Every structure is written in structure tokens, then in C-alpha cells.
């Protein structure tokens, strides 16, 4: 009987009319009804309730009210968010003065970092205050002996085994800790996270031994209770580090006394608990625990962050902790100040400390909810800031400086009780200040002042919960009080459609409701769509019912929400699309013979749609294919219906030619609809997704009631994570009506699936409409013609410049119909992409590529970019490069000289722009220290750049057009081979603005057009350097020869412009180079993916030279690609003073050593064994390996090297020449540092990169590497027939002297 009120309540709820397309109705001047619960602020209630809602406004209402109609107000809960002002901030703080998550005494200390996968796990011995690592012994060498120094890696679940040999078992049994179980858990604790600060109790995790054995002991000649297997179970949390550690043992006995052995096994197993509670469902815009707090400065969104402490206790200049909602934090560090504080410096010192606390950009506003948009002013509030006064009280020579920042955040939960949403009500930056004595010039010289070099500062973040929860209803508790109201988001639902009472029953709605059979009624139009579902049923009791199906619907929280009404302006924004319509054209769904479906393509499309659906998006499909599928079935039936007599009398030859009657399209549609839907259902079932079929006609959009029913059905299906599959009901479709498009406001007639998809996209307020056809997109002329070019972005108004061809082989519409439908959808606020869904190479990922923002098909946009497209830039660069190549060498040199002068003349502007880039990089905290160093420019760097550019100008006088070969073919027939530019270069570089003028100068000197794509972290620096480059080019009218790509083009998209770009040169990390080499299709890539450089120390090496060369190769700039990574040492040098000097030098330089396999086998206690001999460390780390000869060193380099730079150190000239001749690398040196592998050091002036490829250019690539050749033949009425057997001319093939090069 307890279930009866629930059924009645849900009957009332479900019987209400469906929501309008906008989700709410606005009534001006109306008043709310008694059954409504209303709040004034509706910020976080948008589209987040399944109930009928109203927005009530009128003369007596100050702000619009957001109202939800409920039959029992006790079943739900709304809290009116309170206004927090600066005057009452402290009052609320005291009233709700409890900490929301952790008390101050429980606040975790500031951790410097979280364990990364593979990091060693730290342990701490309290008795001796020693910090060490948890070990997992491994075997070494062929004998498999145990190496105890190997650290266990975080999240590295694996098992190892090794052998121990005992020379004196009776002694080892009592003294060897490896045999005693207590040494694996006693006397130490495991640290939750790696730290470099004071070890505090909350950081420690005790190791729990499960049934630990006793200590080993000798019994007769047998050592008993010896540990033979150790198994660690380590529980970790993604936010709090290691949570618990337990260890289990297996023991055995060892007999004998001399040369006894033991096989030991070690296992590390990492695991994490499954969340007992469900994650917030998709659509909750409130803050989620652990999500970063959003703040803004002048409209730019970023994450709130606080100070980060380095290992030495100083405040990091570049790294900051991200503040997460619900996590109280406390950090402490020291900020360096000038040695003496003066009166005039007080304001400056205050400002410096304020900037350190807040970051370089002053925070102004914070986001009320976790999904706030930067353009919505009502979603942001101003942060209250309480600063220090300039002067201290009663101290004329003091300066008040902030030493503590307390970030106080007041928040509350509002909204539906079943799904409350966290909203921030107020935030305050409260600075606590401390007076510092300063030096006053007017005071006597003997007056004391405080001489501080550092100031200790602290940041505290506290969250205060201000939620006023409602009192529980009086009376006897009833079941329906616990019923969650997210009824459209169940975990597992059972859909049952009965003939008399169509009921939607749920077998398990949530953990709160365990009783089976809870039922509620859905509107008939939703039941009609759901009744078409088919998935196997697992409930034996329901086997005889009408229709039943199961659907596994995951809870996925994704940051996908935006205010509808304006389409996306750029492709890169498509990744934020939440609701997507995919239109499948007839040519995509059907086979080439038009009889049957293209099953492979269809399966691929279903897989992509399922993938996006499981990401939390709402997918809809508008499909064709019913006619084609029905035609196949009907043709098959007609052939089978032929009688055997007809077949025999007609003969085999006539049977083959037997005519199939023309099939009426409506009949084919009727026969094909069920089969098409059954195929979709079977495919989607493989991904645990339900699909529902909806058939519509144009009349359904003209009838207002039908249109509302359709809208309500689609919304309810989407809420239940069901994919609607929509098609025109071709079985009953009326004849096409006259074109009524755009006759009136927002009207488009449904004549085909293109117009249907556009109409549904606008009706359902979708973010993206993907139209798949059999062409790549829109072309500026009919596809297939010689000059046809794919239009990347199509703007309203461009249709006049497009010529439409004929329609596809099947279907009712053509490209013109698609463009009209797309423009109409674009006008309605939906972004559109038209792409090819039939191409075998891209159809398997075309939909996901479009959503990821990749350059696929034609993108419809209302926003035209201010500058040219990247294709136009490439064409401008080619035209400018050809003009540049035609200039005189002196003119090209003049341009480079001018650019070198501009670098020094405009030094201040360049450094100012670079400072902005550095500040933004520091605030975001995303760049590692080596990348920040590369990003930084200085006066010395600019001077070096200018010197290098002048070297290029001086050495490039005869680069282009230089004759490198002359041959006289015959009399008066001369052939020349001359140098010419390659064409258009694409140079992609990361966080290195100094690369831009270098590469530009080389391109100018070689007459090449240039496209530059720099990292966004150096945007300001690149912009001014490019401006100066174009200013230099302008002196000879070739400004367009060098182009900087500022659009949102992805690197992968640029690598596809094979008709516009001739060579790609990547400058950056090895990962960048590998990605570009993988993405480039049809364009050669010049560069190297890795710089694994070797130095081989021969037996005849000089002691003085070895340490100098190794130190310079490894330590001068370890992040460079030409830095030493592997040190090869001749075996005879082991245990010699030279070897000891090498090790001592590396230790002094703090170089971490990894032992190669052979080197480790020579050592009793070796460093960590290298994981791979093909490792480029890019840091103060290197591998040391032992070789037996110079020949073995060469073989090692060929096997593990990257053909970059390799060095031999020896005084034996014969050995050195053997090494130089046999090592097959781009650069091979004798007694010189690997760091000489550089274009500037080679005298090339600069380089575009270092190439390790086998063709064209190798090593540092300067001007010569950017040139190719062409052949010039000068004749006088020569024809090939003159040189035939009976001709009058003979080939001479005489080599002619080359013209003298320009000595200047």
C-alpha cells in the first residue's frame, strides 16, 4: 500500500502537458499558483528539472520568479540564495562558522606534488628520521641474483623474482634483513604523497602485516621462517594519495650451510575503491567536489591558484596550486625581497607580495557555478578584497606587508533535494599584515633597521557551508519521501508497454529504492517511440508481456553546456557541443547499386555515435535508407515469387535478363522501415545503448499540437539516454509542395531529410548538425573539375559564388538543398558541417573528427575572420617567395641586414611583449622550467640573433641561382644545373620566439616563401617579431613572403595542405616531431624525432679532455637535442682513476646515472638499471654502458642511437679515423663536445633545425638545406632526332668550367 501514493503522484506529474521547446513559459503580469515553489534567482535551475516550470514576472515582482509545479512541497526543497555583502560577510562567517569539509587541525599540509605513475614510493623511518624508498628487488645478469636497490614504482603493479646465494647460511639466517619478514613492514611508514618538507603525522600510512611470521632462526642445519614471497597491497586515491598498505608473506626453509640459495618473489598490487555514491548526473551546473574554482580577470577565465613551495622552502615563480572546490588548503613558503627596505619602497614591496599571493594577473571576479560562461555577467560576482594599509600604527619607520592570505569562500546547496547544486555566495581575500622596519634616511646612521632577505608567507583556503536544510516532514515517514526525482536518469530501466495501460516500470531506480515494480506513466507520444525498442529481456516473469527491453544507462558528468542561441564561431569550439544531430544521406547509407545498405559504413557510424553518446552528449540521427532497403527486400520477394514453371520455360539466359518491374517508392519505404530500424537496434545494442524510431511528415510540423508532442517525445528520449532515429515517413508522404521556405518567420518546409534535419536541429536547439554526403563538402566549382577547391568555411552570402552540380545518385535533395538547409539551421543558432561519409579512409572517424574540431568538410560560420585563411596565407607566401627569389642577392641581403638592425633598435618593445608571454605562462603554470627558459628573451639573446642574421646576409650573396654543374650536350646545346628555392616552407616551433627571425632570415636568403606556426605561449613575442620581419621585407615590396598563422588551425590540419606546402620543418620536442611526421600526408618532413647522442671514451683517451668534454656535452644545456644522453666507456677503464674522475664529476654536477645492462653486471651495488637504451632524457640524467672495443661502440650507436651526433675521445688517430668513417650519423666528432652540432657554431649563421634523414640535408641545416636545383638547357633549333643513328649530330657531354663565385 505504501507504493500507491507514489503511483498517484507520478500519474499526476506525467499527465501534465510536455514542456515547450524552450523548456519554460514566460507569463508577464501573471502570478504564481499555490502549487508552485518559486525562487527569485534561477541561475542554476536552467533545464535541470523534469517538471513543468514557469518564469513568472509582473509589475509587483522585482525580479522574474523561477517556479516549479509540485503537488507536495514536502517532497522537494528550494533554498533562496542569500545576498552576501562586504558589510555582513563576517556575520555570516561567524554564524555558519563550521568548516565544510575539514577542520583546521585536519587540514592536510601543503604537498609539493602528487605521485606520478612510475615514481618511487617514499617511506620514512621515525626512529632515525631517514627518508628512503620502498624497494622491489629484481634480478641482475644471467645468474638472476637479487638487486635490492630497485625502487617500487607508483601504480606499477607487477611481480619480480630473483635468487640469493649464501656463503654462510647460519650467519645470514640471523643477520640478513632480506630473510626477515619484519624488515618489510616494521620501523617505517609509507608517505601518502612525495614531499620535501617537514614530515607530519597525517602524511604517514602504517604498513599492516597480515599474519606475519616469526623471525628466521637456525634449527640444526636448516634456516626456518625464511621469507620466500612478499606481496604488497597498496590502496590509493586519485586526490589523497596512498591510503593503506598491507603486506602478506610466504615462508620456507633453507637447508645446508655453504653455497645455499633461495628463490624469492616480490609482488606490488595497486588498487582503488569503487565510489559508493553516484556521480552527479549530466546537466548539473553547480560546483562538484574537486573541480577547480573559476575566476576571471578582464573577462579572461582561469583557475584560482595559490602559492607553491619549492623543495628549498622558497615560493615557486612558475608553479601554483589549483584551488579545488571543497578542499581546504594551506601552503607556506618564503619570498625573497631586496636586502634593505627603504621608505620609498614600501608600496612597491606591498605590490610585489600581493602579486605573489594572487599571481601576475589580479583576480577580479569568481564564478558562482562550475559551468559559468565568461560572457554571462549574471554568473559572476566580485571578490571582496581586504588589503593592508600602507603605514603601520605607531611606527613611522615601518611598512605593513601582507604575510598571510585567507581565502574565505561561502557556499550553499540549492535546488532539488534529490540533486542539490553547489553555488558560491561570496568570496573574500583577507590579508593579515605584519610591520617591517625600514631604513629612513632622516634617522641617525646608528638607528637599527630590519635587514630581511626573505619573508615567510602563508595561504589558507577555507570553505564554509551556509546551507539551511529543511526540517523533515512531520508524521509517520513514508516511502515516497525517499524517492529521488531524477526519474529520467535511472541506472537500469525496464521498459514495458502494455495494451491497456502503457506503463514505464523500473526494476531498480536507485540504491534508495530496493522494491521492484515501481511504475509511473509516460505521455503517450513518448510511449509510442519507446515501444519500438527491442533489446533482449532478462526477466523470466515478463517473457509473455507485450514489449520489454533493458537499457544500461551510465551516469557521466561532462563539462558540456552552453547557452543556445548563437552558433559556434570556430571549429575548435565544436568540442563543446552537447546536443548533436547527425544526418545520413541516402548515398551514405546505401550501396553503390542502390539495392541494400552499406553495412560497413553504417556500423562505423553507429560506433562513432555511441562513443559520443557515452561521453555524455545527446545524439540524434536523421537517416535515409528505408527506400533502398525496401527495394532490396521487394526485389528479392519478386524473384522468389516466380514459379518454377516460369523459370524452366524461360531458360537460364532469359532468367538472367528477366525484367524487374519498377517499384513504387512508398511501397519500398513501407517494406524497408522495419528492417532498417531492426538493424540500427542490433548495432546500438552492442554498445549498451537504446534507440527509438520516430517517423514524421511535413504535416507534423504544421500542426502545433503534433509539433509539441514531437518536441516532448524527443526531449524525454534524450533525458533517458536513448538515441532517437528520425526519418520522413516515406510510406505516406504527400507529393512535394511548392517551395515555401522562408515564407514567414523561421519556416522551412520538410521536403527531404536535409530540411528535416535542419528543422529538428533548430526545434531541439541543438549545438551541431553534421550532414554526411558522398562529397567532401562544398566546392567553389563542381567537384571533379580541374580548378575545384574545397571550401573550408562557408559564410552566409557566399552561396552566390558557388556553382551547384547535379544531385547525388540517390536521395531527393542535392548539394543546393543541403546548403539551404544548413544556412537556415545556422540562422537558428545551430552550427553545421557538411562532410563526406562514404570515403573509406575517413568514414571510420569522420563524425568524431568533426566534433574534435579537426578540419573535415565544410564548416558553416556566421563569423568571418579578420585576416586571411591559412590557405590564402600559403598562396600569398608562394607568390611572395617567387618575387623574393627574383630579387638580386644584394637586395635579399639588404632585407636581412634591415631585420638585424630592427632587432636591436626595437629591443625594448620586443622584451616588453616577451614579458607578457612569460607572465601569462607563469600565471597558468603549464610550462616546465626548461620551456620557460626557451620562451625567455634577453638583450644578449637579441644581440646574438642580430649577429647571426648578419652572418646569414653576408654568406648568402650567391645562394640562389648558383651554377653547380655545366655540361655541353652538343654544339650550341649547353645544360646547367642551378640552385633554386624549395617553394613554401612550413616551420612549426614551440615556445622559442628567437626561432622566428632565424628561420625568416634563412627563408629570405634562400628565396623561399614561409609559413610560421608558433606556440600560443609565445603569441605576443611572435607577433612583434613577425611585424618587424614584414617591415624589413617591405623595403623591396615582398611583405607577404613570410606569413604567421594566427588562426585556430590545428597542426594536424596544416600538415594536410600538401598542394600548398612543399616542406615541413618542426622545431620542438621529440613528441612534436613524431606527431608531425605521423600527420604529414604527402609533404616531406625535415627534422629529427630524438637526439640520442653518444660519447665513447676510448682506452687511449686523455684524462684532461675526458671530463671537460663530458661535462660540456651533458651539463652545459641538458635540454638541448645535442646534449649527451649515453656515455660509452671501454671496459679496461673500469676501476681506474679516470673512471672515478668521470663519476665524481657527474656527481658534483648532480647528474643522475642510469646503468646499462653490462655496466650493472660489473657492480655489486649499481645505480638504477636503465629501462631503455633509446632514452632521450633532456635533463641532468644519462646512461653509462660498457663496451669491449671501438667496434662494439659503433655497433651500439647504430642499434640504439638516433643518427644525430656521436663523439669519440681518444688520442689514437687510427682509432679516431675508424670511428669517424664507420659511424653513420649526421655529425661525428673527435675530441669535441656534442654541443658543437649547431648551425651557428658551424658558421651557418643560424639553422632551421638538425636533420637526421638520409636524403636532401643532414645535420644542422642552413641556407644550403633550403635549396633544391633545376636544369636549364639552352639550344638552337635542336631536336632529338638529330642525334639518332642516321642523324647529323653527336652527343659531346663535355664538362664546362663553373663561373667564378662572388668573392665579396
DSSP 855-870: --SEEE-S---SS--H
169, 258 contact by CB (below 8 A): yes
pLDDT higher than 50, residue 48: no
CA 417 to chain centre: 35
- Within 10 Å of residue 142's Cβ, how many Cβ atoms? 7
At residue 485, the 3 state secondary structure works out as coil
With cut-offs at 50, 70 and 90, classify the pLDDT of residue 700.
confident
How far, CA to CA in Å, does 295 sit from each of 431, 1037, 1253? 19, 46, 48
Whether 59 contacts 92, CB under 8 Å: no
pLDDT in tens, 270-297: 887 643 333 333 345 677 777 788 888 7
Q: Is 934 helix (H, G, I), strand (E, B) or coil?
A: helix
Q: What is the DSSP string of 163-209?
A: EEEESSHHHHHHH-GGG-GGGGTTT-EEESS--SS---GGGEEEEEE
Q: pLDDT band for 248, please (50, 70, 90 cuts).
A: very high
Instruction: Tell me the backbone φ, ψ of residue 744, rounded to 5 degrees.
Output: 110, -170
Where is average pLDDT lowest: 402-411, 522-531, 721-730?
522-531
Q: What is the DSSP letter of 807?
A: P
Round to whole Å and give the CA distance between 789 and 778.
Answer: 8
Give the bridge partners for 421, in sequence order: 414
Q: Quick one: average pLDDT of 753-770?
A: 87
- Which residue in this structure is represented by grid cell 655496466? 1159
Burial grade of 1154 (CB within 10 A; 0-12, 13-18, 19 or more): buried
Among 840, 841, 821, 843, residue whose Cα is nearest residue 830: 821
CB within 8 A of 551, min separation 6: which ones? 492, 493, 495, 533, 535, 688, 689, 690, 720, 721, 722
| pLDDT tens digit sequence for 343-382 | 456 777 777 888 888 876 667 788 888 777 777 777 788 8
- Cβ-based neighbours of 828, under 8 Å, separated by 6 or more: 746, 758, 761, 762
Q: What is the DSSP string of 1032-1089?
A: HHGGGT-GGGEEE--S---HHHHTT-TTT-SEEEEES-HHHHHHHHHH-SSS-B-S-S
Burial of 1050 from C-beta contacts in 10 A (0-12 / 13-18 / 19+): middle
The alpha carbon of 169 is separated from its chain's Cα centroid by a whole number of angstroms, namely: 56
**pLDDT for res 6:** 31
Task: Characterise 1037 by phi-psi region: left (phi > 0), alpha (psi -120 to 50), beta (else).
Answer: left
Look at residue 1200 and tell me whether its pLDDT is greater than 90.
Answer: yes
For the stretch 1239-1282, pLDDT in tens is 778 877 667 778 877 777 777 888 888 889 999 999 998 999 88
Residue 107 has pLDDT above 70, yes or no: no
What DSSP state is assigned to residue 1280? G
Question: Which of the residue ranges 452-461, 544-553, 917-926, 1106-1115 would you say has the lowest mean pLDDT?
Answer: 544-553
CB–CB of 286/270 below 8 Å?
no
pLDDT in tens, 949-989: 998 888 877 788 889 999 999 988 999 999 999 999 999 88
- C-alpha cell at position 921: 605562462
**pLDDT score recorded for residue 655:** 46
* Separation of first and last alpha carbons in the chain: 105
| pLDDT per position as a tens digit, 465-477 | 887 765 544 443 3
Q: For position 43, what pLDDT does the model report?
A: 52
pLDDT at 667: 79
Q: Which of 158-162, 653-657, 1025-1029, 1135-1139 has the highest mean pLDDT?
A: 1025-1029
621 vs 237: CA distance, rounded Å: 39
Q: Choose from 17-21, 193-197, 476-480, 1000-1004 the range with maximum mean pLDDT.
A: 1000-1004
Phi, psi of 12 (to 5 degrees): -65, -40
Q: Are 253 and 226 in contact (CB under 8 A)?
A: yes
Confidence band, pLDDT 50/70/90 cuts, at residue 402: confident
Most distant pair of Cα atoms in the chain: their distance: 130
At residue 570, the pLDDT reads: 85
The DSSP H or E segment spanning 579 is strand 579-584
Write down the mean pLDDT value for the chain: 75
Cβ-contact 306, 323 below 8 angstroms = yes
Neighbours of 1035 (CB within 10 A): 12
Confidence tier at 902 by pLDDT (50, 70, 90): very high
Long-range contacts formed by 922-925: CB under 8 A, 24+ apart: 922/317, 922/318, 922/359, 922/360, 923/302, 923/305, 923/320, 923/359, 923/360, 923/361, 924/302, 925/305, 925/308, 925/318, 925/319, 925/320
Say what the pLDDT of residue 1209 is: 96
Kindly state the average pLDDT of the residues 55-72. 62
494 against 579, higher pLDDT: 579
Four-point Cα dihedral 192, 193, 196, 201, nearest 10:
-20
User: Looking at residue 486, what is its pLDDT?
Assistant: 29
Q: How far apart, in whole angstroms, are the C-alpha atoms of residue 221 and residue 1063?
A: 75
Query: In terms of pLDDT, which residue wins out, 1040 or 327?
Result: 1040
CB 1172 within 8 A of CB 1112: no
User: How much is the pTM?
Assistant: 0.52
Residue 232 Ramachandran class (φ > 0 left, ψ -120 to 50 alpha, else beta)? beta
C-alpha triplet 321, 326, 327: angle, nearest 5°:
40
Amino acid at each position: 500500500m505504501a507504493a500507491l501514493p507514489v503511483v498517484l503522484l507520478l500519474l499526476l506529474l506525467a499527465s501534465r502537458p510536455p514542456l515547450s521547446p524552450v523548456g519554460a513559459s514566460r507569463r508577464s503580469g501573471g502570478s504564481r499558483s499555490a502549487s508552485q515553489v518559486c525562487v527569485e534567482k534561477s541561475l542554476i535551475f536552467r533545464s535541470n528539472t523534469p517538471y513543468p516550470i514557469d518564469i513568472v514576472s509582473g509589475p509587483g515582482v522585482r525580479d522574474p520568479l523561477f517556479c516549479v509545479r509540485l503537488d507536495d512541497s514536502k517532497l522537494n526543497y528550494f533554498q533562496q540564495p542569500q545576498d552576501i555583502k562586504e558589510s555582513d560577510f563576517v556575520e555570516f562567517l561567524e554564524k555558519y562558522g563550521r568548516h565544510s569539509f575539514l577542520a583546521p587541525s585536519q587540514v592536510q599540509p601543503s604537498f609539493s606534488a602528487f605521485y606520478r605513475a612510475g615514481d618511487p614510493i617514499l617511506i620514512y623511518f621515525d626512529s632515525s628520521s631517514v627518508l628512503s624508498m620502498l624497494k622491489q628487488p629484481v634480478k641482475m645478469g644471467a645468474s638472476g641474483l637479487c638487486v635490492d636497490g630497485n625502487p617500487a614504482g607508483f601504480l606499477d603493479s607487477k611481480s619480480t623474482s630473483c635468487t640469493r646465494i649464501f656463503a654462510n647460511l647460519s650467519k645470514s639466517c640471523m643477520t640478513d634483513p632480506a630473510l626477515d619478514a619484519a624488515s618489510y613492514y616494521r620501523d617505517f611508514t609509507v608517505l601518502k604523497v612525495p614531499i620535501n618538507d617537514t614530515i607530519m603525522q597525517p602524511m604517514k600510512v602504517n604498513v599492516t602485516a597480515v599474519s606475519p611470521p616469526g623471525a628466521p632462526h637456525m634449527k640444526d642445519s636448516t634456516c626456518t621462517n625464511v621469507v620466500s614471497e612478499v606481496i604488497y597491497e597498496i590502496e590509493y586515491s586519485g586526490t589523497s594519495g596512498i591510503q593503506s598498505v598491507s603486506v602478506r608473506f610466504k615462508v620456507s626453509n633453507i637447508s645446508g650451510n655453504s653455497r645455499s640459495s633461495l628463490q624469492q618473489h616480490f609482488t606490488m598490487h595497486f588498487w582503488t575503491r569503487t565510489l559508493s555514491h553516484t556521480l552527479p548526473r549530466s546537466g548539473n551546473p553547480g560546483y562538484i567536489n574537486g573541480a577547480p574554482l573559476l575566476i576571471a580577470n578582464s573577462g579572461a577565465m582561469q583557475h584560482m591558484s595559490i602559492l607553491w613551495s619549492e623543495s628549498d622552502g622558497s615560493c615557486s615563480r612558475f608553479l601554483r596550486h589549483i584551488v579545488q572546490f571543497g578542499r581546504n588548503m594551506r601552503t607556506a613558503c618564503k619570498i625573497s625581497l631586496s636586502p634593505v627596505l627603504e621608505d620609498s619602497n614600501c608600496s612597491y614591496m606591498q605590490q610585489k607580495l600581493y602579486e605573489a599571493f594572487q599571481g601576475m594577473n589580479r583576480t577580479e571576479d569568481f564564478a558562482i557555478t562550475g559551468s559559468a560562461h565568461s560572457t554571462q555577467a549574471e554568473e559572476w560576482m566580485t571578490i571582496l578584497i581586504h588589503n593592508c594599509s600602507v603605514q603601520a600604527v605607531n611606527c613611522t619607520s615601518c611598512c605593513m606587508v601582507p604575510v598571510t592570505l585567507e581565502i574565505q569562500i561561502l557556499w550553499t546547496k540549492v535546488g532539488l533535494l534529490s540533486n542539490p547544486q553547489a553555488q558560491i555566495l561570496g568570496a573574500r581575500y583577507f590579508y593579515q599584515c605584519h610591520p617591517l622596519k625600514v631604513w629612513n634616511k632622516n634617522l641617525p646612521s646608528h638607528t637599527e633597521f630590519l635587514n630581511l632577505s626573505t619573508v615567510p608567507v602563508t595561504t589558507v583556503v577555507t570553505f564554509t557551508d551556509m546551507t539551511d536544510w529543511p526540517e523533515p516532514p512531520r508524521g509517520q515517514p513514508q516511502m515516497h519521501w525517499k524517492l529521488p526525482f531524477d526519474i529520467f536518469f535511472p541506472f537500469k530501466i525496464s521498459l514495458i508497454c502494455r495494451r491497456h495501460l502503457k506503463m514505464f516500470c523500473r526494476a531498480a531506480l536507485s540504491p534508495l529504492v530496493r522494491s521492484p515494480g515501481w511504475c509511473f506513466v509516460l505521455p503517450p507520444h513518448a510511449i509510442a517511440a519507446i515501444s519500438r525498442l527491442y533489446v533482449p529481456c532478462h526477466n523470466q516473469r515478463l517473457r509473455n508481456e507485450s514489449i520489454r527491453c533493458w537499457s544500461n544507462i551510465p551516469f557521466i558528468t561532462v563539462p558540456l553546456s552552453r547557452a543556445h542561441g548563437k552558433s559556434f564561431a570556430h571549429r575548435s569550439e565544436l568540442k563543446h557541443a552537447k546536443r548533436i544531430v547527425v544526418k545520413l544521406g541516402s548515398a551514405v547509407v546505401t550501396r553503390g547499386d542502390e539495392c541494400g545498405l552499406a553495412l560497413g559504413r553504417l556500423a562505423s557510424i553507429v560506433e562513432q555515435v555511441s562513443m559520443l553518446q557515452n561521453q555524455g552528449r545527446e545524439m540524434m540521427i536523421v537517416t535515409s535508407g528505408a527506400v533502398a532497403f525496401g527495394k532490396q527486400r521487394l526485389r528479392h520477394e519478386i524473384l522468389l515469387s516466380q514459379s518454377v514453371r516460369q523459370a524452366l520455360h524461360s531458360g537460364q539466359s532469359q532468367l538472367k535478363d528477366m525484367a524487374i518491374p519498377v517499384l513504387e517508392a512508398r511501397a519500398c519505404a513501407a517494406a524497408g522501415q522495419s528492417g532498417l530500424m531492426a538493424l540500427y537496434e542490433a548495432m546500438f545494442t552492442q554498445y549498451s545503448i537504446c534507440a527509438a524510431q520516430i517517423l514524421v511528415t511535413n504535416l507534423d510540423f504544421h500542426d502545433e499540437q503534433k509539433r509539441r508532442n514531437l518536441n516532448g517525445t524527443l526531449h524525454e528520449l534524450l533525458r533517458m539516454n536513448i538515441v532517437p532515429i528520425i526519418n520522413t515517413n516515406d510510406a505516406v508522404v504527400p507529393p512535394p509542395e511548392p517551395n515555401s521556405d522562408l515564407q514567414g518567420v523561421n519556416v522551412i518546409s520538410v521536403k527531404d531529410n536535409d530540411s528535416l534535419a535542419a528543422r529538428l536541429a533548430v526545434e531541439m536547439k541543438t549545438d551541431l548538425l553534421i550532414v554526411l554526403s558522398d562529397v567532401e563538402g562544398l566546392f567553389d566549382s563542381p567537384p571533379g573539375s580541374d580548378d575545384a577547391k574545397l571550401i573550408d568555411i562557408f559564410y552566409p552570402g557566399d552561396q552566390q559564388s558557388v556553382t551547384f552540380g547535379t544531385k547525388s545518385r540517390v536521395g531527393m535533395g542535392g548539394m543546393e538543398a543541403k546548403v539551404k538547409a544548413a544556412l537556415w539551421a545556422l540562422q537558428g543558432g545551430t552550427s553545421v558541417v557538411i562532410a563526406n561519409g562514404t570515403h573509406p579512409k575517413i568514414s571510420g572517424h569522420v563524425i568524431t573528427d568533426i566534433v574534435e574540431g579537426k578540419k573535415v568538410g565544410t564548416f558553416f560560420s556566421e563569423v568571418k575572420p579578420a585576416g586571411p585563411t591559412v590557405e590564402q596565407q600559403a598562396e600569398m607566401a608562394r607568390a611572395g617567395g617567387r618575387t623574393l627569389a627574383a630579387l638580386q642577392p644584394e637586395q635579399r641581403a639588404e632585407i636581412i641586414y634591415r631585420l638585424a638592425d630592427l632587432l636591436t633598435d626595437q629591443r625594448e618593445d620586443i622584451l616588453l611583449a616577451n614579458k607578457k608571454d612569460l607572465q601569462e605562462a607563469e600565471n597558468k603554470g603549464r610550462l616546465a622550467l626548461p620551456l620557460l627558459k626557451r620562451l625567455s628573451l634577453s638583450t644578449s639573446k637579441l644581440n646574438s640573433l642580430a649577429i647571426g642574421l648578419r652572418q646569414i646576409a653576408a654568406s648568402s650573396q650567391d645562394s640562389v641561382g648558383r651554377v653547380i654543374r655545366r655540361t655541353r650536350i652538343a654544339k650550341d646545346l649547353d645544360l646547367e644545373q642551378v640552385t633554386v628555392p624549395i617553394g613554401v616552407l612550413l616551420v612549426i616551433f614551440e615556445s622559442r620566439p628567437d626561432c622566428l627571425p632565424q628561420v625568416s632570415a634563412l627563408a629570405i636568403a634562400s628565396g623561399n616563401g614561409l609559413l610560421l606556426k608558433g606556440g600560443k605561449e609565445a603569441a605576443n613575442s611572435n607577433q612583434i617579431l613577425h611585424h618587424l620581419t614584414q617591415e624589413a621585407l617591405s623595403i623591396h615590396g615582398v611583405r607577404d613572403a613570410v606569413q604567421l598563422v594566427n588562426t585556430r588551425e590545428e597542426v594536424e590540419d596544416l600538415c594536410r595542405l600538401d598542394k600548398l606546402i612543399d616542406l615541413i620543418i618542426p622545431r620542438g620536442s621529440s613528441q612534436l616531431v613524431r606527431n608531425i611526421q605521423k600527420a604529414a600526408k604527402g609533404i616531406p618532413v625535415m627534422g629529427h624525432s630524438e637526439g640520442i647522442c653518444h660519447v665513447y671514451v676510448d682506452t687511449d683517451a686523455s684524462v684532461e679532455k675526458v671530463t671537460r668534454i663530458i661535462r660540456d656535452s651533458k651539463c652545459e644545456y641538458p635540454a638541448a637535442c645535442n646534449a649527451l644522453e649515453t656515455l660509452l666507456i671501454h671496459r679496461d677503464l673500469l676501476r681506474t682513476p679516470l673512471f672515478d674522475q668521470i663519476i665524481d664529476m657527474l656527481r658534483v654536477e648532480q647528474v643522475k646515472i642510469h646503468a646499462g645492462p653490462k655496466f650493472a653486471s660489473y657492480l655489486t651495488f649499481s645505480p638504477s638499471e636503465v629501462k631503455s637504451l633509446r632514452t632521450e632524457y633532456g635533463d641532468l640524467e644519462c646512461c653509462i654502458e660498457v663496451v669491449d672495443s671501438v667496434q662494439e661502440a659503433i655497433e651500439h650507436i647504430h642499434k640504439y642511437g638516433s643518427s644525430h651526433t656521436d663523439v669519440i675521445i681518444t688520442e689514437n688517430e687510427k682509432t679516431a679515423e675508424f670511428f669517424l668513417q664507420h659511424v653513420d650519423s649526421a655529425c661525428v666528432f673527435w675530441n669535441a663536445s656534442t654541443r658543437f652540432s649547431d648551425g651557428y657554431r658551424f658558421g651557418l649563421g643560424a639553422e632551421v633545425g638538425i636533420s637526421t634523414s638520409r636524403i636532401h640535408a643532414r645535420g644542422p641545416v642552413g641556407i644550403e638545406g633550403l635549396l633544391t636545383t633545376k636544369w636549364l638547357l639552352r639550344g638552337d633549333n635542336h631536336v632529338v632526332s638529330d642525334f639518332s643513328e642516321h642523324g647529323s649530330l653527336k652527343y659531346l657531354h663535355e664538362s664546362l668550367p663553373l663561373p667564378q663565385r662572388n668573392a665579396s
